[in-house]
């Protein structure tokens, strides 16, 4: 993978073997081979070689409890001997490689060939030059100076090709740089808990060294390999390495081997780090990948030739899923991910349609020109084709060919991918400031179409600062935390011990960062609330923890979503056992058969008492929006020792100590954010593990539900009862009865969340397919985050597993940041629509002008070089100008667009056609009667190589002026009147319009022969600008015409809709393949050979796809490969040539292409 090849490694290691690893008791190779063992083998090996894990720690000169001292020389030495914890990334593409890739563009190649032929012919002096026989061919070439200038046109085309290539390459280069920046930023953000010098500190993953003692807990993604020193109920998901989806139980005596890149699914523990970076298990796999990288690339090229798009689809999955799924599932995964981006599908389809039209037009143009020339010369004037005239005629044909290619160049909107990329990259960069870290580019745009948000309660809608505010202890319900003196001292001791010991020792309350601030809560927030209660009762939990350190805990049943409780067993001095338990009150109370009375004695607690307590204590607390936690305990005899694995018996017959009401206040900005969502047509649903009354109270405070409305608040049990049939299977029609009114789902398990999200997405109840966003922070939220159209993970409270499955990370865990994401998403969609509106107007006009002009006057009024300049204005510059409009609050005032709304709305179609009509009228007027209006020589029917005419210069100049002013019109797409609104908030736009204007002046006045321009005087300039300004006035006229009057526009706007819906259903089966094949049979493949231009469009898709496969790249070390493959995909337009894409009908790109 890295710059080191394997052989370098071994030589380096051999050197280390000699002096036994620079003074440490284990060499690098010893540790590497140790980490390859599993289970009992590993335990035996540790016993034989080191005596115990403690022995291993001694050899590594570290203490299992205190960790490393953390002094710089020692850390540096460890890095030198055992390596650093990072995997060197693959080298990015150089600028020259990107230039070469941009040159692969078919249209550019055609232009280059045309230009070279044109150059060659201009230097060739044909012998028949003087003879009259060649007819019109050489008229006008008498002027010596002029005929010599024939080379200029060819040279100018080449020059403009160079410009286009450099611009494309630069864009790709900056895009790749941005991705890498994002990647490294995410890598820096991942921290891990390590013990150094007896203190637990958060350390960036890259700084961890061999010998560090790392604390691992539920939800972590392990950054290194290690050996477990002590663990509580630890279960690991090793599927990313082994492909086995069952969770592996780890314990210090049976299977202590922990591997990098695996996920902690349950429990907690401490491990000693034994291998980092390229020497860890994930790292070794990478090194192998890296060594095979060159061969792989060669192979990949072969594969690409065979079935371009499909091969590319599979790549990211290989490294990301680690072979977990078989091929069929992978295909499914592809389809579901691809199905994601709404915009992507619409754009591809549109681009293909435009491309076809352009190709058709350019072919017809060339054919008409050639026929006209042939008929005129050889039929009407009855000339013979003389050998000496051949070069002259060929020169004409080359000229016609160049005109044809120019029409094609203008017709194909290659600025589209650019606009999309710029718009997304700009948004992603700006979204960082709004606390949204976007991991998959397309998520940003999908968010604009969101119709439903399923949000967690804790930490997203609330502040996640838990404070105990009420408690029920010793038969009394205290509405505020009581003075410790009123509680029986025995009860108080039991309570304080139960809370201090039965909570993760990583959970602490630290003094505030700044004077007068709130104390800092570290670790599990609910536990922090309970520890806060201990501190309010004037006790210190740390002294109790010091008496019984973590390794002395006899057995820990960690919290998981099934148990909904946590219990810890300790051994008392007399040999008997005591278990402390805490958890959701209704669950723990069911297991209680006794309760501590006001004098600290146990008395019987019957189901009748429990019901009364639920009514009198728990429900009132919950209705105040409090989370209720019950704390209890149970004593076991020393002999016989209970069977700790028999959980159902152990966790029963408890004695309740108290019930605590913990408040987690709603974030102040949330109600407002939720109101905005509702106004924007987005339904917010709360999905929480909390009690139903608590959830309802918080939902009312947030404004998710309003009293008196018709909505559902149900808990997981009721939800499952309603959606499952007698056999216990989930039925879609049952879900359809529940979800539209559902607003709060309480006491939900992770599967409930996943079922709900899937149910809403798959529902056909409403005519629009719902686009669902989900927030999650826990490991168990992974499946729902993956299933959702956009998954938001919490940056602060979120576990690595959740971040891995998500598309966007909320760096401040705040719901109002989601609203910002919606705003940006809609803005991306609008920016691209603005660009399309502008681009298509220019396209329509330029193509029609070139086409009719060529057919009537045998010469396009707009020359090849001028067309390329227009192309540059409308593609590169316009995409920059229109794609960087900042979002406004008004975006949230409308409903989402939905999946099947056409990309080009009827208002946009009206604008495109309206402005098209204006521009064509002006240009044709100038073309046919311009010489009379301005009293100048006509430029029509000018012979080959004649000097540029003022007449055609005026046409070119007016055309550009109209585009410039129309760019201002294009800023509004919903028929707003004031097109200047907010124009100064976008400095990029202003500078581009002014810059283009300045360059245009230079081109016209000093462009001369290469640009086919002759300088104009001030009066003519004023006319050109005046005709351009007419665009703004005409824009107002167009927006007065109501859409309803223009019935025919309805059809025009549905460019991309016709098979949007069937595609959805087809995705389920493999039918779509046959569908595509059937379409392709119609001889369309021939079209596409020439249509490779549309590669660029597919690049749009790639950019998005790379967003998609920009897979967990981010947080996974394995990322580096998948990422590097993807980044290359992003940056090269030539990755998928269309003909390849078509040969494999499975690939996405082929399907839309076939269907249009």
H or E element at residue 686: strand 683-687
Q: Show the beta-strand stretches assigned E in 701-845.
A: 712-715, 742-746, 772-776, 790-794, 808-810
Average pLDDT, integer, range 987-1005: 90
Query: Using CA atoms, how far apart are residues 165 and 160, in angstroms rounded to an integer?
Result: 9
Query: Using CA atoms, how far apart are residues 114 and 100, in angstroms rounded to an integer?
Result: 19
Structure letter (DSSP) for residue 877 = I
Phi, psi for residue 769 in degrees, rounded to 5: -70, 130
Over residues 812-852, the pLDDT tens digits come to 888 888 888 999 988 888 888 888 888 888 888 878 887 78
Over residues 340-361, the pLDDT tens digits come to 466 767 776 777 777 788 788 8
**What is the reported pLDDT for 580?**
93
**What is the reported pLDDT for 415?**
63
Identify the band that residue 1062 occupies on the pLDDT scale cut at 50, 70 and 90.
very low
Query: Using CA atoms, how far apart are residues 442 and 1106, in angstroms rounded to an integer?
Result: 9
Q: Beta 626-636 vs 654-663: how paired, if at all?
A: antiparallel
Query: Using CA atoms, how far apart are residues 163 and 161, in angstroms rounded to an integer?
Result: 5
Closest by CA position to 42, among listed 287, 248, 261: 248
Length of the chain: 1156
Average pLDDT, integer, range 240-269: 81
Give the orientation angle of helix 293-317 with respect to helix 281-291, to 10 degrees: 120
Query: Using CA atoms, how far apart are residues 980 and 984, in angstroms rounded to an integer?
Result: 8
The SS3 assignment for 888 reads coil
Phi, psi for residue 131 in degrees, rounded to 5: -70, 145
Residue 195: is its pLDDT beyond 80? yes
Over residues 44-101, the pLDDT tens digits come to 888 888 888 888 888 888 888 888 887 888 888 888 888 888 777 777 788 888 888 8
Structure letter (DSSP) for residue 666 = B
| Cβ-Cβ contacts under 8 Å for 147 (sequence gap 6 or more) | 141, 945
| Cβ-Cβ contacts under 8 Å for 270 (sequence gap 6 or more) | 64, 195, 213, 214, 215, 216, 228, 229, 230, 231, 550
* Percent of the chain whose pLDDT exceeds 70: 76
Listing from the earlier edge strand, what are the strands of the sheet with 712-715? 436-438, 808-810, 790-794, 772-776, 452-455, 683-687, 742-746, 712-715
H or E element at residue 746: strand 742-746
| Cβ-Cβ contacts under 8 Å for 438 (sequence gap 6 or more) | 182, 427, 428, 431, 444, 807, 808
* Percent of the chain whose pLDDT exceeds 90: 11
Residue 1051: is its pLDDT beyond 60? no
Bridge partners (DSSP) listed for residue 228 = 271
Query: Using CA atoms, how far apart are residues 478 and 347, in angstroms rounded to an integer?
Result: 62
| Cβ-Cβ contacts under 8 Å for 488 (sequence gap 6 or more) | 474, 596, 598, 599, 600
**What is the reported pLDDT for 496?**
92
**What is the reported pLDDT for 1076?**
38
The string over 703-712, giving b where at least 16 C-beta atoms fall within 10 Å of a residue's C-beta and e elsewhere, is bbbeeeeeeb
Over residues 1096-1107, the pLDDT tens digits come to 445 544 555 554
- Structure-token pair, residue 683: 């339904």
**What is the reported pLDDT for 177?**
77
Residue 1093: is its pLDDT beyond 80? no
Over residues 235-247, the pLDDT tens digits come to 888 877 776 767 8
Q: Beta 436-438 vs 742-746: how paired, if at all?
A: unpaired
Phi, psi for residue 221 in degrees, rounded to 5: -105, 120
Residue 432: is its pLDDT beyond 90? no
Quote the pTM value: 0.68
Lowest-pLDDT range, 277-286, 475-484, 951-960? 277-286
- Residue reference for tokens 């790379």: 1106
Query: Using CA atoms, how far apart are residues 550 and 569, in angstroms rounded to an integer?
Result: 11
Residue 437: is its pLDDT beyond 70? yes
Query: HEC string of 408-444?
Result: HHHHCCCHHHHHHHHHHHHHHHHHHHCCEEECCHHHH
Residue 197: is its pLDDT beyond 80? yes
Lowest-pLDDT range, 81-85, 90-94, 615-619, 1049-1053? 1049-1053
Q: How far apart are the first and last CA of the chain?
A: 42
Closest by CA position to 629, among listed 601, 593, 655, 656: 656
Q: Beta 555-557 vs 213-217: how paired, if at all?
A: unpaired
Find the angle CA(554)-CA(558)-CA(559) to the nearest 5 degrees: 155
Identify the band that residue 745 occupies on the pLDDT scale cut at 50, 70 and 90.
very high
| C-beta of residue 309 within 8 angstroms of C-beta of residue 1147 | yes
Structure letter (DSSP) for residue 63 = B
Query: Using CA atoms, how far apart are residues 701 and 687, in angstroms rounded to an integer?
Result: 15
**Cis amide leading into 495 (omega within 30):** no
Phi, psi for residue 859 in degrees, rounded to 5: -155, 135
Residue 854: is its pLDDT beyond 50? yes
Find the angle CA(866)-CA(872)-CA(875) to the nearest 5 degrees: 135
pLDDT, the chain, mean: 76
| C-beta of residue 286 within 8 angstroms of C-beta of residue 278 | yes
Structure letter (DSSP) for residue 388 = G
Structure letter (DSSP) for residue 368 = H
| Cβ-Cβ contacts under 8 Å for 575 (sequence gap 6 or more) | 638, 639
Average pLDDT, integer, range 519-526: 82
Query: Using CA atoms, how far apart are residues 786 and 798, in angstroms rounded to an integer?
Result: 15
Distances (CA, A) of 195 to 201, 210, 230, 528: 6, 13, 14, 21
Identify the band that residue 111 occupies on the pLDDT scale cut at 50, 70 and 90.
low
Q: Annotated catalytic sites, by residue?
A: 456
Query: Using CA atoms, how far apart are residues 875 and 107, in angstroms rounded to an integer?
Result: 15
């Amino acid at each position: 993978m890295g710059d080191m090849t394997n052989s370098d490694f071994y030589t380096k290691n051999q050197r280390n073997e000699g002096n036994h690893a620079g003074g440490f008791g284990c060499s690098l190779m010893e540790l590497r081979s140790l980490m390859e063992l599993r289970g009992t083998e590993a335990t035996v090996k540790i016993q034989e070689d080191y005596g115990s894990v403690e022995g291993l720690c001694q050899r590594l000169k570290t203490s299992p409890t205190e960790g490393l001292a953390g002094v710089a020389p020692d850390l540096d030495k460890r890095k030198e001997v055992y390596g650093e914890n990072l995997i060197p990334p693959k080298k990015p593409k150089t600028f020259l490689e990107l230039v070469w890739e941009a040159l692969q563009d078919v249209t550019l190649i055609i232009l280059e060939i045309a230009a070279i032929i044109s150059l060659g012919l201009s230097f060739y002096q044909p012998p028949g030059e003087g003879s009259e026989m060649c007819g019109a061919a050489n008229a006008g070439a008498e002027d010596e100076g002029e005929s010599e200038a024939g080379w200029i046109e060819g040279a100018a085309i080449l020059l403009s090709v160079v410009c286009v290539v450099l611009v494309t390459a630069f864009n790709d280069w900056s895009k790749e740089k941005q991705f890498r920046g994002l990647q490294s930023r995410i890598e820096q953000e991942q921290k891990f808990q390590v013990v150094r010098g007896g203190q637990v500190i958060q350390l960036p993953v890259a700084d961890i060294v061999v010998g560090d003692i790392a604390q691992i807990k539920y939800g972590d993604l392990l950054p290194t390999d290690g050996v477990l020193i002590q663990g509580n109920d630890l279960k690991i998901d090793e599927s990313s390495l082994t492909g086995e989806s069952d969770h592996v139980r780890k314990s210090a005596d049976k299977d202590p081997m922990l591997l990098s890149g695996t996920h902690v699914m349950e429990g907690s523990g401490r491990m000693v780090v034994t291998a980092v970076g390229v020497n860890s298990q994930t790292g070794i796999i990478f090194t192998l990948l890296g060594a095979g990288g060159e061969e792989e690339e060669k192979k990949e090229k072969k594969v690409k030739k065979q079935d371009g798009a499909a091969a590319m689809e599979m790549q990211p999955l290989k490294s990301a899923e680690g072979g977990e799924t078989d091929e069929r599932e992978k295909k499914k995964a592809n389809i579901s991910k691809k199905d994601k981006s709404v915009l992507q599908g619409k754009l591809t389809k549109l681009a293909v349609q435009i491309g076809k039209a352009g190709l058709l037009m350019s072919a017809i143009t060339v054919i008409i020109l050639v026929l006209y020339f042939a008929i005129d010369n050889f039929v009407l004037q009855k000339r013979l084709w003389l050998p000496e005239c051949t070069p002259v005629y060929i020169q004409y044909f080359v000229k016609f060919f160049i005109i044809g290619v120019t029409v094609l160049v203008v017709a194909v909107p290659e600025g589209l991918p650019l606009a999309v990329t710029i718009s997304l990259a700009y948004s992603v960069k700006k979204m960082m400031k709004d606390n949204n870290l976007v991991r998959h580019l397309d998520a940003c745009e999908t968010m604009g179409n969101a119709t439903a948000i399923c949000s967690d309660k804790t930490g997203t809608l609330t502040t996640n600062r838990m404070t105990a505010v009420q408690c029920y202890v010793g038969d009394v319900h205290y509405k505020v935390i009581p003075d410790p003196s009123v509680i029986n001292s025995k009860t108080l001791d039991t309570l304080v011990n139960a809370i201090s010991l039965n909570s993760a020792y990583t959970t602490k309350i630290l003094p505030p960062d700044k004077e007068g601030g709130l104390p800092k809560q570290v670790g599990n927030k609910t536990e922090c609330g309970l520890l806060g209660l201990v501190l309010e009762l004037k006790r210190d939990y740390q002294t109790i923890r010091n008496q019984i350190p973590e390794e002395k805990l006899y057995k820990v049943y960690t919290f998981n979503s099934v148990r909904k409780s946590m219990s810890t067993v300790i051994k008392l001095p007399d040999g008997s056992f005591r278990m402390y338990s805490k958890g959701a009150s209704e669950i723990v109370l069911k297991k209680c058969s006794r309760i501590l009375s006001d004098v600290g004695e146990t008395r019987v607690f019957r189901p009748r008492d429990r019901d009364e307590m639920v009514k009198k204590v728990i429900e009132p607390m919950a209705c105040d929006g409090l989370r209720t936690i019950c704390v209890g305990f149970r004593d076991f005899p020393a002999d016989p020792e209970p069977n700790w694995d028999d959980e159902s018996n152990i966790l029963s017959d408890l004695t309740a100590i108290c019930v605590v009401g913990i408040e987690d206040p709603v974030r102040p900005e949330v109600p407002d954010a939720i109101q905005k969502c509702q106004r924007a047509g987005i339904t917010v649903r709360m999905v929480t593990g909390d009690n139903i009354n608590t959830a309802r109270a918080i939902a009312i405070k947030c404004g998710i539900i309003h009293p008196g409305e018709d909505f559902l608040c149900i808990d997981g049990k009721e939800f499952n009862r309603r959606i499952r049939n007698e056999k216990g299977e989930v039925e879609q029609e049952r879900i359809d009865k529940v979800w539209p009114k559902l607003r709060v789902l309480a006491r939900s398990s992770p599967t409930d969340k996943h079922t709900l999200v899937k149910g809403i997405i798959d529902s056909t109840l409403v005519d629009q397919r719902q686009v669902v966003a989900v927030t999650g922070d826990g490991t168990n939220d992974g499946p729902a985050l993956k299933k959702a159209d956009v998954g938001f993970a919490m940056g602060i409270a979120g576990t690595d597993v959740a971040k891995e499955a998500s598309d966007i990370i909320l760096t401040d865990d705040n719901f109002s940041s989601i609203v910002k994401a919606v705003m940006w998403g809609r803005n991306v969609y609008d920016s691209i629509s603005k660009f399309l509106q502008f681009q298509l107007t220019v396209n329509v006009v330029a193509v029609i002008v070139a086409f009719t002009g060529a057919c009537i006057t045998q010469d396009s009024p707009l020359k090849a070089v001028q067309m390329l300049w227009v192309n540059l204005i409308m593609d590169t510059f316009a995409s920059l100008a229109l794609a960087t409009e900042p979002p406004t609050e008004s975006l949230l005032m409308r409903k989402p667009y939905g999946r099947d709304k056409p990309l080009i709305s009827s208002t946009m179609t009206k604008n495109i056609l309206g402005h098209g009509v204006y521009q064509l009228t002006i240009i044709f007027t100038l073309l046919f009667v311009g010489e009379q209006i301005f009293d100048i020589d006509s430029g029509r029917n000018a012979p080959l190589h004649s000097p540029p005419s003022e007449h055609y210069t005026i046409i070119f100049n007016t055309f550009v002026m109209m585009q410039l002013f129309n760019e201002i019109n294009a800023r509004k797409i919903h028929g707003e009147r004031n097109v200047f609104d907010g124009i100064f908030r976008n400095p990029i736009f202003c500078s581009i319009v002014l810059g283009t204007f300045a360059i245009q002046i230079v081109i016209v006045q000093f462009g001369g022969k290469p640009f086919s321009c002759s300088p104009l005087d001030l009066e003519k300039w004023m006319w050109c600008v005046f005709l351009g300004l007419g665009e703004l006035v005409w824009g107002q006229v167009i927006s007065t015409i109501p859409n309803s009057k223009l019935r025919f526009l309805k059809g025009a706007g549905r460019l991309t809709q016709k098979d949007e819906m069937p595609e959805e259903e087809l995705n389920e089966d493999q039918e779509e393949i046959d569908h595509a094949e059937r379409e392709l049979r119609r001889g369309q493949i021939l079209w596409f050979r020439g249509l490779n231009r549309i590669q660029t469009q597919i690049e749009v898709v790639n950019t998005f796809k790379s967003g998609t496969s920009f897979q967990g790249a981010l947080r996974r070390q394995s990322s580096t490969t998948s990422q590097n493959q993807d980044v290359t995909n992003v940056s090269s337009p030539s990755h998928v040539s269309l003909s390849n894409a078509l040969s494999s009908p499975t690939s996405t790109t082929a399907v839309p292409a076939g269907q249009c």
